Chains A and B, each alone.
Chain A
Amino acid sequence: MPKEAIVRTIGVKKSFMLGKVPLHVLKGIDLEILKGEYISIMGPSGSGKTTLFNMIGGLDKPSEGKVYIDEVDIAQLDAYELAWLRCRKIGYIFQTFNLIPVMSALENVMLPMIFGGLSTDDAREKAKALLETVGLGHRVNHKPFELSGGQQQRVAIARALANDPAIILADEPTGNLDLKTGKEIINLLREMNKEKGVSIITATHDLKMLDVSDRVIWIRDGMIERVEDRENITIKVGEVEGEEAG
């Protein structure tokens, strides 16, 4: 039996109006991402990764084309269904962490569960367990500003996992982290992907991601340049890293 597609985009275009001039950011993206895959969307800054991330995550509407999450056309959803989808089906991770500043690590992780209708006690227990999993069991009561960037991103990962989503979308999750911390975050994501079977889609230009990805989708100027699977990537890694070093 072929694996089910968890995300499918058909001819997704997005343009922004800059004054009277339209800026075409996505120029027709066709993608199929399977359940349990670890996908990296690679491309230079400004190529449209974040914009694509927003389309796939139901955080913005495409100008043209369709996005299917688990075979459901998300353009057809009403506000309540969309909120449910964002709450239950998708976990989001941002480059800037986007934790709620007034809430402790624990409360941040509890929030999506509260929105999902879980009781406070159940949410607290589960949030504690998740923070343990990401290695922050000892910092549950700290506020984001009391945590390092890497620790904040771990909280964000725990938060993204809160409602056992089918998909984790991560937009440059290592973009604000140093090399070593970035690597730890990547490994953590890979672990979650293996253990929980959650599909991971990261937009990134961090070449460290290549190692762990099942497939890499290269985009340039709002179009898919090429898609590579794991076997081809491993050959390429040395090449690209050599390039970067040179």
Chain B
Amino acid sequence: MEQKKIEKQLSLPLKNAIQMSFRNMRVRFGRAIIITMSILLGIAFLMSVLTGNAFTMSLIHKGPEEIKVLLMADILEVKTRQVWLVSLSLLVCTVGIVNAMLMSVTERSREIGTMKCLGALDKFIVELFLLESLAHGIVGSIAGCLIGILTMTVVYLIQYGGLIIKIFPLGVILKYMLLSILLGTFLAVIGALYPAYVSSKMEPAEAIRREV
């Protein structure tokens, strides 16, 4: 009898996972766009609310007297509305992104099971989905932020005119933008990684059998 009948499967370098996830996004380009769009929408909504708040605060602090007085008159109402809108948009954004990612991965359960039959390690499968969701998350969040900021700037420009450019709260908006990109990417990765991890931990028979 031979000495060593069973060996250990080698881990593939990250390069392979990068190649494969890239190819997957290229071939399923329409799919990738739709997933990215759901992230974009969630983040654009959140970012427009945050940008609107930043403008209002900036107007209160740096705007001309008459606008200040106008805004201060119902400052309490403005502040509650802001909190409420931010919470709502956070919720919409979270549900939208996590849902899109969950769906996109669970429908690939059979593919995950098949890859395990062909000798893929769980780690490799998780890497694959981590890379894809990272790409979707970063691209979707950045685009969403830009669209949110742009929309709100146009809205405020129409309402207050060139004054908005003078009091443009660049620092605050950049800070919100960074936070939104982090949040969008985080949600995309969590939403994809959780189902990918679950499927990769399943026995291949079960992953293949699971119809979604």
Contact = CB atoms under 8 A, between A and B. Distances in A.
Interface string A58-83: 01110000000011100001111101
Contacts of B208: 59, 94, 98
Given A59-B117, A86-B118, A102 B6 contact: no
B204 A59 contact: yes
A100 B205 contact: no
Given A60-B205, A70-B5, A102-B24, A86 B12 contact: no
A87 B203 contact: no
Contact of A114 (B16, B27, B111): B16
Contacts of B28: 102
B162 to A, nearest CB: 50
A70 B5 CA distance: 8
B120 A83 contact: yes
B66 interface: no
B80 interface: no
B7 interface: yes
A147 to B, nearest CB: 15
B7 A98 contact: no
A139 B110 CA distance: 24
A60 B205 CA distance: 6
A54 B205 contact: yes
Contact of A84 (B9, B124, B203, B204): B9
Given A77-B6, A86-B117, A59 B12 contact: no
Contacts of B23: 102-103, 107
B171 interface: no
Nearest to B124: A115
A87 B118 contact: yes
Interface in B179-212: 203-206, 208
B205 A87 contact: no
A115 B120 contact: yes
Interface in A76-133: 77-81, 83-88, 92, 94, 98-103, 107, 111-112, 114-117
A115 B205 contact: no
B6 A81 contact: yes
B10 A117 contact: yes
B115 interface: yes
Nearest to A84: B9
Interface in A151-206: 159, 163
Nearest to B118: A112
Contacts of B111: 100-101
A232 B38 CA distance: 62
B37 to A, nearest CB: 20
A92 B113 CA distance: 12
B122 interface: yes
Interface in A18-70: 54, 57, 59-61, 70
B12 A84 contact: no
A194 B208 CA distance: 30
B9 A80 contact: yes
Name the residue among B114, B115, B124 with the largest chain A CB count within 10 angstroms: B114
A71 B118 contact: no
A81 B8 contact: yes
B64 interface: no
Name the residue among B27, B115, B208 with the largest chain A CB count within 10 angstroms: B208
A105 B204 CA distance: 22
B9 A81 contact: yes
B6 A100 contact: no
Given A100-B115, A115-B119, A83 B27 contact: no
B73 interface: no
B6 A114 contact: no
Given A83-B9, A111-B118, A112-B118, 8 more contacts: A60-B204, A81-B6, A81-B8, A83-B120, A86-B116, A86-B204, A103-B27, A114-B16
Would you list the 4 A-B pairs with minimal beta carbon distance, nearest first?
A87-B119, A115-B119, A83-B9, A60-B205
11 contacts: A60-B204, A61-B203, A84-B6, A84-B9, A86-B117, A98-B110, A98-B208, A100-B111, A107-B23, A111-B115, A114-B16
Interface of B: 1, 5-10, 12, 16, 23-24, 27-28, 110-111, 114-122, 124, 203-206, 208
